C-alpha cells in the first residue's frame, strides 16, 4: 500500500464478537434505550446496597430475635440515615455540590478517554498509565516554566495531551504494525508508566531538593488550576465539560469520528470503503490518550499539595472503564455517569462521618452498578422488561441433542 | 405414514409470518417448499421443529396431533432437520459429532467409540454417503460436513427430514451428489421437505412443489406441469423475466488489464497463479468457476485489499497494482464485494451512513473536517428513491433491511457516479428474484454507459445470463474462455478443470 500501512486484508475478524462487545460497551444504542437500563442498574445497586447495610449492622441484627418489628424499624432507619447522608454529602449544600463536581472532574475526562476507544472498537485499559505520563508532562511544565497563568495552564495541558497521546499511541502503533492486542499492551504500559513515574520523581529533574522520597518540586502558582472561591472545585470541571462537547463533536460530526465508528463496528467494512484501518487505530489511541493526559493534569495542577507523588492518578483510570460502560460510551452518558460516581465519592465521606458506614460501601455500590450494566439481561429479567425485538432471534444452536 | 401441518398461523409483534398454512408430506415423497426470503418458510419449519409455538394450527402425524414444545419433542416424533448452518463441533471427529447428545457409553461412563464408528459406517454405506468416521470435521469439505448432519438425523431414526436451503453452501458437483443422497433417502421411505428459493433445483428433485408468498401457501404444483418462469411468477406475485435483456456488446478500449498476476491466499498458497486477462469498456466479462478457485483473492488483489506477489494490474494503461482501495475509488472503480454483510456494509449504521461510506470525506458530504449530515441525508433520500431501496426511512439501520435491499444500498453507493470499471462479486447471492432482476439491469446499464464490467459468480446461470464473455477459473488459472454462445455443458466441464490449460487472454 502506498500509505505504508501493514499488509491489507488477511486479518480475520469475527463480526459477531464485535456485536457482543457492542452490547456490553453500549456503542450504537439509541438514547432512550441508553437511559433505562443504567437507571435501573443504579436503582438495583442502591437496593442491594441497603441490604448490605442492613446485614452488616450487627447491633440491629441481634434485635430481630426479640422484637422483629423494632428490628425492621431500626434497619429501615439505619439504611435511610445512610442514604440520607449520602444525599446530603453529595448535593445537600453548596460545598457538597462543589465536592461532587470536583470529584467528577477527572472521572469524566478519563471516562471519555475509555469511551472514545470503545466507539472505535478498542479497549484502552491503559488510561491509568496515560494519566500518569500526561500528568508528569504537565508537572514538569508546571514547575520549570515561569509564565502568566493564562499561558502557563494551557501550556501544561498541551504538554499533558502530548504525553498521554504518545503513551497511548505506542499501543496503537503496536496494534497497527504488528497486530498486538491493545488490552495486553496498554496493561503492560500501565506498569511501565507507574514505575517510570516513581523513578523520574527521584531524579534531579523532578525531585524536590533535599528529599529522598519520590516527591516532586512544587508547581508554580501560575500553573495551579484557579478554584471557585475557597471550594476545591476548579477550572478542571469546565475543561471536562468542554471535553464532553469536543468528544461529541468528534464522534458524531467529524469525518474522523465517522471513520472511528465505522472501523469500530466493522474493520473489514472500513478497509473496503477505503479507510486506513491501521492509522485509524493509532489515531483513536492517541486521542484517547490525550484525553487521559488531560485527566492526569487534574491530579497535579488541580490537587493539593500541587506536587507530583508516587501513583498520583490513583485508580481513576480503572474506575473510568466502569464509568464508560455505565455511560454506554456516549459522551453525554459519560458526563452523567461521572457526576454519579463523583456524588458517590463526595457523599460517601459524609456517610462515613454521619452514619458510620464505611466509605468502602461506595465502592461496593459502584461495583454493583457495573455488574448490572454488564449484565443487561439480568436487569431486564428483574424488571420484566421485554428484550428489544432486534435482539431476539431464536437460538437454533440446539440441533440434534446438542 | 404422513406428516401434516394444518392451518398454521404464527403472529409476531406486528407481523403475520404464517397465515393459515397447510403442508403435507408422505413417506417416500420429496416436497419442495419454495419462496423468497421472508415468505415464511423458516418460521414454518421452526414451528415444525418445536422452536416456535404456532398462534393457531396443528402439526399431525397420521392424523394424531403432536405437541412440539422443543426440538427434543420433534426428534422424538421422528422429525429431523438439517440446518443451513451446520451444528457441528469442528474439532470433534465425525463419529463423535454423530453421537453427541446421546453418547453410547461402556461401564464407568467411557465413551464407546467403536460403537459410534460402527453406526457411522453402517448408515453411510446404506445411503452411499461415503464418510470416514474418524475424520475431523474442520478438515472436511462443506459437502461432506452436510452428510455428517444427514447421518446425525438418520442416527436418530428420523422418518421425516427437513433440509433448509441445503444447496446454498454447495458447489455444483456437490449439489449433484447431494441430490443422489436425497433420492436414496426417498427410496428408503423417508419423507423429505426441501426448502429452497432456487427454482431449477425444486423442479429437479421434488415430487410436489409448494410455493409460499407473504406467509401464505399460494400454489401447489407438480414439476411436470410447470416451469421456472411460472414458478418465479408464483413466488414473486408478478410476471418475472429471468433472462437478462441487453443489446450486443460494443467493446471499446481496454480498461482493466491483468498480467501474469500471482496472489497468495491466507495460507500462503498460490490462489491466483500467473493469471492474465483484459476487460474492455462496454463489455461484461464473467468469471465462472467453483468457489475457492482464486476468485476471492483475484478480486481482492485488483481492488487493493490484498497485495499481489507478482504481476501487474493496469487501469487504462496506468499501473495500479499497489494502489489502495481509496486510490482506486478516486480512479472511478466501483466494487460490489463478495460478502455484503461483512465488508460491503456497516450493519450497525443507518442507510444514510452506509451510502456515504466511501465518499464521507468528499464534498458535498464533508468539508474535510466536519460532516454535513443534511447533505448526506439528501443524498441517501435521492439514492433510496432512484435505486428502489425498500426501507422505512434513511435513518433505519441497514441491518433491518432484507438482503436484496441491502445489496441495492451497496449498488446505489457504488454506481452513483461515472465509473470506468465495475467489479461485482456474487452480486445477487441470496437475494430475492425481484432484486436480482433489478441489479442485473443496473449492471447492464453501466456497461451501456461505457464502463468495463467484471462479474464474478459461482452461479453458472448468472454468469451465462449476464456476460458477454466468460472465463473459467480453476486452481487460480484460466481453464477456458468462452463467448456468449457457449453452452452450460462446455463451461461446466471447464469448471471441473477438464479442458486443460488454455493460457488465453
pLDDT tens per residue across span A93-106: 999 999 999 999 99
- Considering only the beta carbons, identify the residue of A7, A253, A266 that sits closest to B347: A266
Which string of b and e fits A309-339 if b means at least 16 CB within 10 Å? beebbeebbbbbbbbbbbbbbbbebbbbbbb
pLDDT tens per residue across span B340-376: 888 899 999 999 999 999 899 988 899 989 999 999 9
- Considering only the beta carbons, identify the residue of A19, A258, A399 that sits closest to B371: A258
> CB-based contact (8 Å) between A22 and chain B?
yes
Residue among A304, A336, A298 at smallest CA distance from A317: A298
Calculate mean pLDDT across residues B135-141.
85
Percent of chain B past pLDDT 70, that is, above it, reads 97
> CB-based contact (8 Å) between A259 and chain B?
yes
Instruction: Quote the CA–CA distance of A42 and B491 in Å, as a whole number.
Output: 65
Res B187 pLDDT > 70? yes
Q: How far is A203 from chain B (nearest CA, A)?
A: 43
Whether A274 sits inside 8 A of B329 (CB atoms) is: yes
A9: chain B residues, CB-CB within 8 Å: 300, 305-306
A7: chain B residues, CB-CB within 8 Å: 307
A1: chain B residues, CB-CB within 8 Å: 304, 307, 322, 324
B300: chain A residues, CB-CB within 8 Å: 9
Interface test with A, best of B326, B333, B365 (most A CBs within 10 A): B326
- Contacts (Cβ under 8 Å, ≥6 apart) of A325: A24, A25, A26, A370, A373, A374
Using CB atoms within 10 A of its CB, is residue B409 exposed (0-12), middle (13-18) or buried (19+)?
Answer: buried
Name the residue of chain A whose CA is nearest to B328's CA: A274
- Considering only the beta carbons, identify the residue of B13, B325, B349 that sits closest to A389: B13
Residue among B54, B52, B60, B58 at smallest CA distance from B26: B60
Helix (H, G, I), strand (E, B) or coil at B371: strand
- Considering only the beta carbons, identify the residue of A15, A262, A394 that sits closest to B349: A262
A258: chain B residues, CB-CB within 8 Å: 353, 360, 371
- Considering only the beta carbons, identify the residue of A19, A253, A268 that sits closest to B371: A253
Interface test with A, best of B89, B357, B361 (most A CBs within 10 A): B357
Confidence of residue B14 (pLDDT cuts 50, 70, 90): low
Whether B348 sits inside 8 A of A265 (CB atoms) is: yes
Which string of b and e fits A20-50 if b means at least 16 CB within 10 Å? eebeebbbbbeeeebeebbebbbebbbebbb
Name the residue of chain B whose CA is nearest to A27's CA: B348
Instruction: Quote the CA–CA distance of B273 and A151 in Å, as a whole number.
Output: 63
Helix (H, G, I), strand (E, B) or coil at A394: coil
> CB-based contact (8 Å) between B327 and chain A?
yes
DSSP H helices in A92-230: 94-119, 127-144, 149-178, 182-200
ipTM of predicted assembly, 2 dp:
0.81
Confidence of residue A401 (pLDDT cuts 50, 70, 90): very low
Helix (H, G, I), strand (E, B) or coil at B241: coil
Q: How far is B75 from chain A (nearest CA, A)?
A: 7
- Look at strands B452-456 and B421-425 and give their pairing: parallel
Interface test with B, best of A271, A328, A400, A402 (most B CBs within 10 A): A400
As beta bridge partners, residue B318 has: B315
For residue B335, the surrounding DSSP H or E stretch is strand B333-336
Calculate mean pLDDT across residues B19-42.
87
- Contacts (Cβ under 8 Å, ≥6 apart) of A158: none
> CB-based contact (8 Å) between B11 and chain A?
no
B343: chain A residues, CB-CB within 8 Å: 266, 268-269, 271-272
Using CB atoms within 10 A of its CB, is residue B269 exposed (0-12), middle (13-18) or buried (19+)?
Answer: exposed
> CB-based contact (8 Å) between B83 and chain A?
yes
Residue among B49, B43, B47 at smallest CA distance from B57: B47
Residue among A276, A266, A10 at smallest CA distance from B354: A266
- Contacts (Cβ under 8 Å, ≥6 apart) of B472: B287, B288, B289, B478, B479, B480, B481, B482, B491, B494, B495, B499
Res A8 pLDDT > 60? no
| pLDDT confidence of residue A32 | 59
Name the residue of chain B whose CA is nearest to A256's CA: B369
Residues in chain A: 402
pLDDT tens per residue across span A41-72: 888 888 898 888 888 877 777 877 788 888 88
> CB-based contact (8 Å) between A358 and chain B?
no
| pLDDT confidence of residue B504 | 42
| pLDDT confidence of residue B119 | 86
- Considering only the beta carbons, identify the residue of A1, A275, A399 that sits closest to B87: A399
As beta bridge partners, residue B56 has: B9
Res B188 pLDDT > 50? yes
For chain A positions 26-55, those within 8 Å of chain B (CB to CB) are: 27-28
Asked if residue A300 lies in contact with residue A312, where contact means CB atoms within 8 angstroms, the answer is yes
As beta bridge partners, residue B334 has: B422
Concatenated DSSP letters for B285-306? Answer: EEEE--TTSSHHHHHHHHTTSS
Q: How far is B300 from chain A (nearest CA, A)?
A: 8
Res B501 pLDDT > 80? no
Supply the DSSP symbol for B310: E
- From its phi and psi, is residue B56 left (phi > 0), alpha (psi between -120 and 50) or beta? beta
> CB-based contact (8 Å) between A209 and chain B?
no
Using CB atoms within 10 A of its CB, is residue B296 exposed (0-12), middle (13-18) or buried (19+)?
Answer: buried
Res A37 pLDDT > 90? no
B348: chain A residues, CB-CB within 8 Å: 19, 22, 27-28, 265-266
| pLDDT confidence of residue A387 | 59
Whether A272 sits inside 8 A of B361 (CB atoms) is: no
Whether B343 sits inside 8 A of A272 (CB atoms) is: yes
| pLDDT confidence of residue B13 | 67
Supply the DSSP symbol for A14: -
Confidence of residue A24 (pLDDT cuts 50, 70, 90): low
> CB-based contact (8 Å) between A398 and chain B?
yes
- Contacts (Cβ under 8 Å, ≥6 apart) of B107: none
Whether A1 sits inside 8 A of B52 (CB atoms) is: no
Asked if residue B453 lies in contact with residue B283, where contact means CB atoms within 8 angstroms, the answer is yes
Asked if residue B139 lies in contact with residue B151, where contact means CB atoms within 8 angstroms, the answer is no
- Considering only the beta carbons, identify the residue of A254, A268, A269 that sits closest to B370: A254
Instruction: Give the count of beta carbons closer than 10 Å to the beta carbon of residue B65.
Output: 11
Interface test with A, best of B325, B331, B334, B397 (most A CBs within 10 A): B325
A265: chain B residues, CB-CB within 8 Å: 346-349
Instruction: Tell me the whole-structure pTM to 2 decimals.
Output: 0.80
Residue A60, CA distances (Å) to A68, A85, A356, A359, B155 in order: 10, 19, 14, 20, 64
Considering only A13-22, A366-375, B249-258, which range has the smallest mean pLDDT? Answer: A13-22
B271: chain A residues, CB-CB within 8 Å: none
Instruction: Give the count of beta carbons closer than 10 Å to the beta carbon of residue B353.
Output: 24
Confidence of residue A330 (pLDDT cuts 50, 70, 90): very high
Instruction: Quote the CA–CA distance of B324 and A2 in Å, as a whole number.
Output: 7
Residue B97, CA distances (Å) to A395, B122, B348 in order: 19, 15, 35
Considering only A360-369, B116-125, B491-500, which range has the smallest mean pLDDT? Answer: B491-500
Amino acid at each position: 500500500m502506498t500509505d505504508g500501512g501493514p499488509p491489507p486484508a488477511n486479518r480475520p475478524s469475527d463480526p459477531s464478537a464485535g456485536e457482543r462487545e457492542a452490547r456490553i460497551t453500549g456503542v450504537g444504542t439509541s438514547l432512550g434505550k441508553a437511559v433505562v437500563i443504567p437507571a435501573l442498574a443504579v436503582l438495583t445497586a442502591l437496593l442491594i446496597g441497603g441490604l448490605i447495610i442492613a446485614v452488616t449492622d450487627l447491633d440491629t441484627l441481634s434485635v430481630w430475635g426479640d422484637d422483629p418489628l423494632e428490628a425492621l424499624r431500626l434497619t429501615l432507619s439505619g439504611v435511610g440515615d445512610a442514604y440520607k447522608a449520602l444525599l446530603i454529602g453529595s448535593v445537600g449544600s453548596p460545598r457538597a455540590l462543589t465536592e461532587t463536581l470536583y470529584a467528577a472532574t477527572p472521572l469524566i475526562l478519563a471516562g471519555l478517554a475509555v469511551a472514545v476507544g470503545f466507539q472505535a472498537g478498542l479497549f484502552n485499559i491503559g488510561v491509568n498509565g496515560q494519566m500518569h505520563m500526561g500528568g508528569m508532562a504537565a508537572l514538569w511544565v508546571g514547575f520549570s516554566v515561569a509564565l502568566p497563568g493564562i499561558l502557563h495552564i494551557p501550556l501544561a495541558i498541551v504538554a499533558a495531551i502530548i504525553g498521554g497521546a504518545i503513551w497511548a499511541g505506542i499501543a496503537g502503533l503496536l496494534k497497527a504494525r504488528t497486530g498486538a492486542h491493545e488490552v495486553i499492551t496498554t496493561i503492560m504500559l500501565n506498569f511501565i508508566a507507574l514505575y517510570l513515574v516513581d523513578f523520574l520523581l527521584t531524579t534531579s529533574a523532578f525531585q524536590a531538593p533535599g528529599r529522598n522520597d519520590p516527591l516532586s518540586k512544587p508547581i508554580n502558582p501560575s500553573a495551579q488550576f484557579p478554584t471557585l472561591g475557597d471550594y476545591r472545585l476548579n477550572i478542571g470541571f469546565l475543561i471536562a465539560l468542554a471535553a464532553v462537547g469536543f468528544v461529541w463533536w468528534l464522534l458524531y460530526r467529524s469525518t474522523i469520528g465517522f471513520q472511528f465508528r465505522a472501523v469500530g463496528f466493522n474493520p473489514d467494512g472500513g478497509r473496503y470503503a477505503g479507510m486506513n484501518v491501521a492509522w485509524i487505530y493509532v489515531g483513536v489511541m492517541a486521542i484517547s490518550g490525550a484525553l487521559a493526559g488531560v485527566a492526569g493534569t487534574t491530579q497535579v495542577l488541580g490537587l493539593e499539595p500541587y506536587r507530583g507523588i508516587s501513583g498520583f492518578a490513583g485508580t481513576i483510570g480503572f474506575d473510568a472503564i466502569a464509568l464508560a460502560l455505565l455511560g454506554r460510551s456516549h459522551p453525554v452518558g459519560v458526563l452523567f455517569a461521572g457526576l454519579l460516581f463523583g456524588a458517590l465519592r463526595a457523599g460517601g465521606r459524609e456517610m462515613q462521618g454521619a452514619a458510620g458506614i464505611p466509605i468502602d460501601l461506595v465502592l461496593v455500590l459502584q461495583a454493583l452498578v457495573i455488574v448490572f450494566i454488564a449484565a443487561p439481561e439480568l436487569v431486564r429479567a428483574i424488571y420484566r422488561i421485554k428484550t428489544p425485538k432486534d435482539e431476539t432471534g431464536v437460538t437454533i444452536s440446539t440441533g440434534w441433542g446438542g | 405414514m404422513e406428516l401434516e401441518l394444518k392451518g398454521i398461523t404464527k403472529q409476531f409483534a406486528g407481523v403475520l409470518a404464517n397465515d393459515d398454512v397447510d403442508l403435507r408430506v408422505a413417506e417416500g415423497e420429496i416436497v419442495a417448499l419454495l419462496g423468497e426470503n421472508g415468505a415464511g418458510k423458516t418460521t414454518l419449519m421452526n414451528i415444525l421443529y418445536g422452536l416456535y409455538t404456532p398462534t393457531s394450527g396443528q402439526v399431525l402425524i397420521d392424523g394424531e396431533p403432536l405437541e412440539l414444545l422443543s426440538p427434543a419433542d420433534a426428534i422424538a416424533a421422528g422429525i429431523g432437520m438439517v440446518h443451513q448452518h451446520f451444528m457441528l463441533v469442528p474439532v470433534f471427529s465425525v463419529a463423535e459429532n454423530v453421537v453427541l447428545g446421546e453418547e453410547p457409553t461402556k461401564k464407568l461412563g467411557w465413551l464407546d467409540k467403536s460403537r459410534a464408528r460402527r453406526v457411522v459406517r453402517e448408515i453411510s454405506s446404506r445411503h452411499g454417503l461415503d464418510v470416514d468416521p474418524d475424520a475431523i470435521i474442520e478438515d472436511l469439505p462443506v459437502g461432506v460436513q452436510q452428510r455428517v448432519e444427514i447421518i446425525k438425523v438418520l442416527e436418530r431414526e428420523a422418518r421425516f427430514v427437513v433440509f433448509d436451503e441445503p444447496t446454498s453452501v454447495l458447489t455444483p458437483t456437490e449439489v449433484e451428489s447431494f441430490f443422489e443422497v436425497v433420492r436414496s433417502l426417498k427410496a428408503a421411505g423417508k419423507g423429505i421437505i426441501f426448502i429452497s428459493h432456487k427454482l431449477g433445483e425444486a423442479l429437479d428433485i421434488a415430487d410436489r412443489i409448494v410455493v409460499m408468498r407473504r406467509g401464505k401457501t399460494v400454489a401447489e404444483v407438480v414439476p411436470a406441469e410447470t416451469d421456472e418462469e411460472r414458478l418465479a411468477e408464483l413466488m414473486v406475485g408478478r410476471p418475472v423475466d429471468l433472462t437478462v435483456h441487453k443489446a450486443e456488446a460494443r467493446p471499446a478500449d481496454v480498461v482493466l488489464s491483468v498480467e501474469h498476476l500471482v496472489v497468495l491466499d491466507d495460507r500462503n498458497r498460490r490462489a491466483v497463479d500467473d493469471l492474465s486477462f483484459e476487460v474492455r469498456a462496454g463489455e461484461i466479462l464473467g468469471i465462472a468457476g467453483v468457489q475457492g478457485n482464486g476468485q476471492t483473492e483475484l478480486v481482492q488483489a485488483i481492488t487493493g485489499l490484498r497485495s499481489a506477489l507478482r504481476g501487474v494490474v493496469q487501469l487504462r494503461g496506468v499501473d495500479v497494482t499497489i494502489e489502495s482501495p481509496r486510490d482506486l475509488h478516486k480512479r472511478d472503480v466501483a466494487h460490489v464485494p463478495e460478502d455484503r454483510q461483512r465488508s460491503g456494509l456497516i450493519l450497525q449504521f443507518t442507510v444514510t451512513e452506509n451510502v456515504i461510506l466511501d465518499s464521507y470525506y468528499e464534498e458535498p458530504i464533508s468539508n474535510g473536517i466536519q460532516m454535513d449530515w443534511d447533505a448526506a441525508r439528501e443524498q441517501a433520500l435521492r439514492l433510496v428513491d432512484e435505486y428502489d431501496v425498500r426501507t422505512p426511512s434513511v435513518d433505519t439501520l441497514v441491518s433491518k433491511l432484507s438482503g436484496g435491499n441491502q445489496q441495492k444500498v451497496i449498488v446505489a453507493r457504488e454506481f452513483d457516479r461515472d465509473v470506468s470499471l465495475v467489479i461485482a462479486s456474487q452480486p445477487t447471492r441470496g437475494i430475492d428474484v425481484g432484486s436480482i432482476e433489478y441489479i442485473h439491469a443496473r449492471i447492464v446499464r453501466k456497461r451501456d454507459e461505457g464502463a468495463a464490467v467484471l462479474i464474478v459468480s459461482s452461479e453458472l446461470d448468472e454468469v451465462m445470463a449476464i456476460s458477454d464473455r466468460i472465463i473459467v477459473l480453476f486452481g487460480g488459472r484460466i481453464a477456458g474462455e468462452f463467448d456468449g454462445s457457449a453452452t452450460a455443458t462446455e463451461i461446466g466441464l471447464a469448471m471441473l478443470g477438464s479442458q486443460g490449460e488454455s493460457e488465453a487472454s
